[in-house]
Amino acid sequence: MLCDLRNRHLHLMLAAEAVCFAAALSLSYLLRFDFNLPAPYAAQMLGMYKYALPLKLGVFLALGLYRGMWRYTSLFDMRRLLEAVALSSALLVAFVAFRYGFTGFSRAVLAMDCLLTLAFTTGLRLGIRVLYAHGAEGVARSALPKPPARRVLVIGAGGLGERLLREIAATPELNCHVVGFLDDDPQKAGRALHGRLVLGPVADLARLASAHGAQEVLIAVAHASAGQMRRIIDLCKACGLPHRILPPTSQLLSGKAVLTLRPVDYQDLLGRTEAALDEAGLAGILTGQVVLVTGCGGSIGSELCRQVVRFGPARLVLVDASEYNLYAIARELADERGFGGITRVLGSVADAELMERVFAEHAPSLVLHAAAYKHVPMLEECPWAAVTNNIQGTRALMRAAARHNTARFVLVSTDKAVRPSSVMGASKRVTERLMASMTATGEAGQTRFMAVRFGNVVGSSGSVVPLFRRQIERGGPVTVTHPDMTRYFMSIAEACQLILQAAAMGRGGEIFLLEMGQPVRIVDLARDLIRLSGKTPDQDVDIAFIGLRPGEKLHEELLCAGENVRPTAHDKIMALANAPQPDAEAEARELDALLAELDAAARAQDAAAIRALLARLAPEYRREEPGTPHAAAPSGGD
């Protein structure tokens, strides 16, 4: 339906537009004849009304120009208006040529009519927008008295800053007055954005804030590195001004954030840009498909679920051993995301009979296997749990997927699988080896198995960030294992985006590596979090070094010795070249025999035997004792 004919505003718009069309045609004739219109042309002009007005109104209706709200006229609306004017004028010229052959008609009149129609209809729309804007301001001014508006400086004179300025102008309740912008782009210095000057570079924040009486700093920077964002925060703190940040446009558009300023978070200091996704490729493996997610209630699993439902799968099968986690993510997807095609499976992935029934009943085309025990010191105390859940569970799941011809299976791995020093890391390395063996021997069948290896994610339930925040709230100390310890970090959302992207790219047998950027010193992370809490490290909150815990390494790595990495079509995803296996069948038999012994050791809860067998299954495994930090090899091998 082109528009609602019962809408009273439509009739007013049609009447106003008809007046514009008539005025444009009349003025065209008057201008052509210097406002001394001969009688024959006056009669011709009156006769043209009955053709020009219905034709233009019909074109404008057909192109949907009366469906929008003129008070919100945008550049997109202006483009549509230009198209409608050009088309209607062309049709009018064609009509005159066909009906009269231009005999007795001035071509200048038709040309001016086109330009004046555009001018009058544009002016009408902009006038209504200005009228409503001033009306809103008048209502705001006539409301109850308010305190003086907060004077704010905006860092970032780009698209995000412009959007923030428009939002402030359109929302009087915010009670803000933008005094100007700061931007490091020298081309923007001295220029104006909606009447607000770019006052200078960010380095002059303290001077410019004082000169203009700024009371707060709003950060609206779409793309900033970790160093740039940390510099901005340090400058804000140095001049003693409160500061908030606007989420990037990509998060606003994807629904992960709203157009609301918030306090600066540690993720802002990571400086990681949003991953560009192959939306068409992801739709091909997700839209209308049955997707199974294990560990669906965990940090990674739940975010995978949120991102999968955006693509409209036919059904989402949720598997988790935690009753509450399973309930929580299912309710969130139904209530907040409006997705009802959910099947809940409460149980362990190590329950082979249960997994077999799930695959037989639902026949998933994609499995995202995020279920795993990941707490390094805890698994050092209970290594049999890592064997049962991480190794046996993954094996049961992989075999069920192969038997039921699942199209794709993604194993969520970790950088701790590289030269593992812990039971947890060794267990994940064994699962990577299982995947490679099934692919090499053909046991995978039609299923494309792949693994995705990455580092820590900020904000996950087991990450140091929530722990540090709790310690800061208690007044400290913040406990760091070693002053030189480093880790790779990325956000949960980015990690899950890249996991899905790798799933769409995989051909079978690959181990994908996510580009993790530069490693972050844990002590620096602790200091940043203390500062973001408004406190001073080593004064308000102490930092205590407690030594490495069992299984921990000083530095994590992304590549094992002898592994060769190759780029992929995505700049944030790399792939390991599949290592040749001269006798895959013999290796598979050896793997089966060792796994049988490992299962027996796990049932007996024999920690020493488990570690010995893990060392045979993952020859790179070297147990790290507390106080003996592991020296990482350079990326690419020893």
Q: What is the mean pLDDT of residues 151-157?
A: 90
Task: Tell the burial category of 147 from Cβ atoms under 10 Å away from its Cβ (0-12, 13-18, 19+).
Answer: exposed
Q: Is 610 a residue whose pLDDT tops 80?
A: yes
- How many other C-beta atoms can be found within 10 angstroms of the C-beta atom of residue 470? 10
Q: What is the pLDDT of residue 342?
A: 94
279-457+488-518+557-617 CATH: 3.40.50.720
Could you tell me where in the chain the CATH 3.40.50.720 domains are found? 150-264, 279-457+488-518+557-617
What are the backbone dihedrals phi and psi of residue 512, each rounded to the nearest 5 degrees, phi first?
A: -90, 140
Q: Is 91 a residue whose pLDDT tops 60?
A: yes
Structure tokens at 452: 């995705």
Q: What is the pLDDT of residue 390?
A: 95
Q: What is the pLDDT of residue 560?
A: 60
Q: Is 631 a residue whose pLDDT tops 80?
A: no
Task: Identify the bridge partners of residue 479 per DSSP, sorted by sequence position.
Answer: 544
pLDDT-based confidence at 583, cuts 50/70/90? confident
Q: What is the pLDDT of residue 527?
A: 84
Q: 74 by DSSP, 3-state: which?
A: coil
Instruction: For the chain, report the end-to-end CA distance as a whole number of angstroms.
Output: 68
Q: What is the pLDDT of residue 127?
A: 80
Question: Among the ranges 101-115, 178-192, 336-350, 561-575, which has the highest mean pLDDT value?
Answer: 336-350
Q: Topology of domain 150-264, per CATH? A: Rossmann fold (3.40.50)
Contact 78, 39 (CB under 8 A): no
Q: 414 by DSSP, 3-state: which?
A: coil
Q: Is 195 a residue whose pLDDT tops 50?
A: yes
Which residue carries 């707060």 as its tokens? Answer: 216
Give Cα separations from 368 to 152, 288, 406, 504, 559 (angstroms). Answer: 46, 16, 11, 12, 22
Q: What is the pLDDT of residue 334?
A: 92
Query: How is residue 347 annotated by DSSP?
Result: S
Q: What is the mean pLDDT of residues 14-41?
A: 88
Secondary structure percentages of the chain, helix, strand, coil, to 5: 50, 15, 35
Q: 316 by DSSP, 3-state: which?
A: strand
Q: What is the pLDDT of residue 558?
A: 67
Q: What is the pLDDT of residue 516?
A: 74
**Run of H or E residues at 113:** helix 107-142
Q: What is the pLDDT of residue 382?
A: 94
Q: Is 461 a residue whose pLDDT tops 80?
A: no
Q: What is the pLDDT of residue 259?
A: 43
**Run of H or E residues at 399:** helix 393-403
Cite the beta strand spans of 501-564 per DSSP E. Answer: 511-514, 520-521, 543-545
- 438: Cβ–Cβ under 8 A, 6 or more apart, which residues? 398, 402, 444, 449
Structure tokens at 400: 């069920």
Q: Is 605 a residue whose pLDDT tops 50?
A: yes
Distance of CA 335 to the CA centre of its chain: 21
- How many other C-beta atoms can be found within 10 angstroms of the C-beta atom of residue 443? 17
Which residue carries 């064997």 as its tokens? Answer: 387
Q: Is 253 a residue whose pLDDT tops 50?
A: no
Give Cα separations from 57 to 3, 17, 517, 532, 624 (angstroms). Answer: 13, 8, 57, 58, 79
- pLDDT tens-place string over residues 473-501: 888 899 988 888 888 777 788 888 889 98
For residues 594 and 221, give the distance between their C-alpha atoms in angstroms, rounded to a whole number. 54
Higher pLDDT, 559 or 596: 596
Higher pLDDT, 105 or 594: 594
